[in-house]
Structure 1
Amino acid sequence: MIVFRYLNREVLRSFAGILTVLMLIFLSQRLVTYLGEAAGGELSGLVVLKLVALYLPVLFSLLLPLTLFLAILLALGRLYVEHEMTVLRACGVGENDVLRHLLKPVLAMTAFTAALTLYVMPMALEYQYQVLDQQAAESELSLLAPGRFQEGQDKHSVLYVEAFGEQNSLGGVFFASMPQAAGDSTGILASRGGYHWQDERDGQRFLVLENGYRYEMQPGSKKWTVVKYDKYFMKLQPRSVSEIRRKAKALSSVELLMDLKPENIAELQWRLAVPLQMPILALLAIPLCRVRPREGKFARILPGLLIFLGYTMLLMMARSSLEEGKLAGWIGLWPVHLLALALGVILLRQREIRRAPLAKLS
């Protein structure tokens, strides 16, 4: 038991290190994308933080199979390089024993991953849609940045705020609206300041401008109408949130089972495929760890990644065919799993196949 606790500890240590590195890489990439959208005025700062938090369970569930596969390759590969596996084999501990004892933490991670993919991940994606819908329903004021021109939701107006003050106060406000149809006038509002005000009776929001001028001109005319005002109330129209059809990946697993159309069947089988990969990849990783001392513990990383990519690509191709109705639902992704499982068994028994006589194999 001391030996197997040592093996499990080595694998889990590599697992934690690899998962941390991969999470930082992919999370940083997604954060840069969100920050770019925030800089373009499409997202607010608070929404960026919410989206990053909701992306964590999605990323975590997708990285677990690859992380476990690489952790076993690195941990057991080091044991081969440093002759520890040779000593264990001389003491009667073979690869089958290592696999049998590694299955306990592997199955625990498989159950955890299944809970993520079947329950947590669709719930996080649904919340992500709700956050984006709420963002779309908010006024442009939540997306304003001082010193930058912000295009209106109607695509025919521009709002500029020079600075923000305390209690939603604005300094140096400029607003221009271009004609949307024939006969509409061009209007420009300029004021030294303003503030955001909401009517408590009906909840309607206004942008109140103070001490400014309104300039208006009809198309084809050279005359301008200039009005000086002390206070000017601009009614803020919230963006309408349309009821959109959620993608299958944002539906709960129960909803997918209630409507067994090809798209939902493909999504449901994909959610099952992610945790199912973990014990199959563990089976593949055990024989791939066999390296010679001079090769180094990283010698089988490239072949292992190629096998993982091939396995994943076949799953994606089968999923695409299932969504398009080219593949029957009862077949689905299961042949790919069976193929990977058969490859793992062949690799695990490779030495026995080489040494056994032909009559014994038959």
Structure 2
Amino acid sequence: MIIRRYLAKQVLATTIVVVVLLTLIMMGARLIKYFGVAAQGRLDSGVLFSIIGYRLPEFLTLIIPLGFFIALMLVFGRLYTDNEMAVFNGSGISRNRLAGLLIPLTACLLVLQIALMGWISPWGLRQFQQLTSAQAIRTGFDLVRPKEFVSSGPYTIYASDLSEDRKNLKDVLFYQRAQAENKPDIVILAREAKRVDIPDDTANVVDLIDGRRYEIRPGQVQYSQAEFKNYRLRIENDREAAVSGDQVESMSMAKLWKKRHDAVVQSELGWRIFGPFVIIIALMLATILSEVNPRQGRYYRLLPGILIFASLIVALMAVKTRMTRGELQIWAYPAVVLLYGIVTLVFMKSPNLAPKIKSKLSK
């Protein structure tokens, strides 16, 4: 009991530290991306941290297994380098028995991983999609700031002044990039722009007053010009501004089960059912890969171990991709997990097998 508490405390503390560091690295990079989108006027900066919070469970589904594996490698490696493993072995406690003492902690992490992949992460993705969809409706006219160029999809808008109710613009420049090769770019200059509220219309409709409209074709000298007293302009919302996620990944388990005959749904369903078992493989792999000579240091096999464990995640993702194309069936998920589990179990039961294979390969 004392040894179990000692190991569990070491592994859990190291896992938390590693998971926090990996989360800060991954979410920091994503936060920088969202700051760039907000700087372009395509996203309200006030919802950035809400977006990060909703996306966090999705990242944790990959970070927690990796963090747990790295923590196991570090803790078991330290036992070898500090000669604690030799003391345990001399007391009749093998490395496999030490790994068995961590089964309760592994079971807790397995339950957490199942909850994340099955319910929490899809819920976060649904909230994320609702939030970004609402932001997509706000793009364009809504995000105009005085004396700043604001781009939203194919549109660029500039105004020297903006009323407090955001319905009147002064000295407006509007540019629309052509969406096809045979279509011209459009530039509109107007003294004033007034927003028109139309019920059940998500687009931005404005009336431009006293201005000129230019049609310009890139690479050509000629252009067309028209003057107007009043010109109604419809600015479609930029749906690309929303960082859209796959609808299948945000579906609940109940909806996935109802549509389980679809290949894409089967790939997501298999990922959620068999993906959490990488936690168990992490414990087994770390047990055999963490063995080092005290002179080598506990980091000696950390990178090779991470690559081997990452190959399991990559293999499962490859299965998911091929299933969406109809190239594989759902049995491929348990086949990959069982393959890694059986090979790891063989090496756990035969500790001298790896040195024999290494010596034969060197010969």
The TM-score bracket by the shorter chain reads 0.7 to 0.9
CA distance in 2, matches of 1:80, 1:278: 23
CA distance in 1, matches of 2:336, 2:105: 24
Give 1:214's aligned residue. 210
Give 1:291's aligned residue. 292
User: Aligned partner of 2:237: which letter?
Assistant: R
User: Aligned partner of 1:175: which letter?
Assistant: L
Give 1:358's aligned residue. none
**Post-superposition shift, 1:99?**
1.4
Give 2:336's aligned residue. 336
Partner SS state of residue 211, structure 2: strand
8 Å CA contact 1:165–1:171 kept in 2: the answer is yes
CA distance in 2, matches of 1:240, 1:67: 38
Pairwise CA RMSD: 3.8
Give 1:31's aligned residue. 31
1:244-269 Cα shifts (integer Å, max 9, x gaps): 99532121111111112111111111
Give 1:345's aligned residue. 345
Aligned runs of 1:190-205 on 2, under 5 Å? 190=191
**Post-superposition shift, 1:33?**
1.4
Cα 1:105–1:195, aligned 2, differ >3 Å: closer, same or farther?
Answer: farther
CA distance in 1, matches of 2:203, 2:78: 66
Give 2:314's aligned residue. 313
Aligned runs of 1:214-233 on 2, under 5 Å? 214-216=210-212, 224=227
Which of 157, 160, 177 is matched with 1:159 structurally? 157
Cα 1:98–1:165, aligned 2, differ >3 Å: closer, same or farther?
Answer: farther
CA distance in 1, matches of 2:45, 2:149: 17
Which of 172, 175, 184 is matched with 1:174 structurally? 172
8 Å CA contact 2:203–2:236 kept in 1: the answer is no
Give 1:10's aligned residue. 10
Given the alignment of the two structures, is residue 281 of structure 1 paired with residue 279 of structure 2, yes or no? no
CA distance in 1, matches of 2:297, 2:276: 30
Given the alignment of the two structures, is residue 188 of structure 1 paired with residue 189 of structure 2, yes or no? yes
CA distance in 1, matches of 2:177, 2:51: 36
Cα 1:255–1:94, aligned 2, differ >3 Å: closer, same or farther?
Answer: same
Cα 1:246–1:234, aligned 2, differ >3 Å: closer, same or farther?
Answer: same
Q: State the structure with more CA Rg.
A: 1
Give 1:254's aligned residue. 254
Give 1:131's aligned residue. 131
The count of corresponding residues between Structure 1 and Structure 2 is 339
Give 1:263's aligned residue. 264
Partner SS state of residue 172, structure 2: strand
Report % sequence identity: 24
**Post-superposition shift, 1:24?**
0.7
1:287-327 Cα shifts (integer Å, max 9, x gaps): 21211110001011022012112212222222223222222
Given the alignment of the two structures, is residue 272 of structure 1 paired with residue 270 of structure 2, yes or no? no
Structure 1 gap segments, 5+ residues each: 356-362
CA distance in 2, matches of 1:250, 1:263: 13
Q: TM-score, length-normalised on structure 2?
A: 0.79
Structure 2 gap segments, 5+ residues each: 216-222, 356-363
**Post-superposition shift, 1:206?**
7.8
8 Å CA contact 1:62–1:274 kept in 2: the answer is no
Give 2:361's aligned residue. none
Partner SS state of residue 307, structure 2: helix
8 Å CA contact 2:136–2:237 kept in 1: the answer is yes
Give 2:218's aligned residue. none
8 Å CA contact 1:51–1:128 kept in 2: the answer is yes
**Post-superposition shift, 1:236?**
7.3
> Which is worse superposed, 311-320 or 107-116?
311-320
Partner SS state of residue 351, structure 2: helix
**Post-superposition shift, 1:107?**
0.6
